[in-house]
Amino acid sequence: MDGSAINGLSTSSSPLFALSTQPTISKLSATIGKIGMMAFIISMCISLPIALFPPYLLHRLKLITKVQQQQRALTHGQFCARWLLRLIPFCNVQCNSSPELETNPQPCVWVCNHTSALDIFILLANDKKLRGKNRRPIKIVYWKGLEDNPITKLLFTQCGFIPVQMAANAAGEENSYDMKSFKTLIKMSKQAFKEGCDIGILPEGQLNPHPTEKLLPSFPGAFTLAKMSRRPVRFMALHGTHRLWHARDDIGMTVTGRDVALRVYEGEGRKFKSADEFLATFEAVVGKFATTGKDLHDDELNQWLDGSKWERIK
């Protein structure tokens, strides 16, 4: 990527962006982090096929259903990511959540920001801490082009994740979706809810090349899907994965920090009245944590989450 201008400002010349790419750790710690990250990725490439084979075989032998196979594949994938991260602690993950308060989570659409190719593995590894032991299985909407990688293809297809077609592009460039694939998205999402799953969507639609400045322009697909299925939307946020594996090719795996923060916002979520309300709330709540690693002040945060802030400014 060439650091092209966004809203008239070059991402490579922005003071905030330049600050975000400066090392915040020693060279030794950065080297250890990079070696650990590479070891984690290689280990996932080896362990995932082994872990996903038993449910695949059981389904082929018609001993379990397709739904059971997908849910077991997700559980096995989460297990691999969780234990490999414990054995190879290349980053320090802090989870801000109170999942023990949720004894009977209801079906919902989860939304989260997206900054790094590591995001999916970090989220899988910490899903139990974030959403609790009683969490529902989740099916994530992903770009079908990721199936060019045999490991992500294996994980996503075996877990029954939901593909959407779009033209290949660089991080920060405008997305061009194949609208025909949205019919499949809606059909598979409805089926996922019937099977007892939640849906996970990344409204930015791609990796954010300037994660400490602002969110990318987001898409209202999560709102549309939630409205059609009459499900609430719940927010999740992450910060810091870009310091391990950046979306920009000229930075890439140059490790500048090893601290990662994850956040799940409490409550049962909201059934938003409009796409504008959803997008404004996502940008305010998730955008603040995504760019700084910190939440809005409690009063303002609660007002966004309960909708009263939007009612005053709309």
Domains delineated in the chain: 8-313 (3.40.1130)
Percentage of residues in the chain having pLDDT higher than 90: 73
Contact 154, 52 (CB under 8 A): yes
Per-residue pLDDT, 2? 35
Query: Checking phi first, is residue 196 left (phi over 0); if not, alpha (psi -120 to 50) or beta?
Result: left
Residue 233 and residue 221 in contact, taking contact as beta carbons nearer than 8 Å? no
Highest mean pLDDT among 159-173, 184-198, 273-287: 273-287
> CA-CA distance, 120 to 111, in Å (whole number)?
13
- Average pLDDT score over residue span 272-301: 96
pTM of the model: 0.88
Helices 221-229 & 181-194 angle (0-180, nearest 10): 50
Residues in the chain: 314
Q: How far apart are CA 294 and CA 308, in angstroms?
A: 21
How far is residue 235's CA from residue 229's CA, in Å, rounded to a whole number? 17
**Two tokens, residue 174:** 């405008």
For residue 276, the Cα-to-chain-centroid distance in whole angstroms is: 21
d(CA 235, CA 111): 5
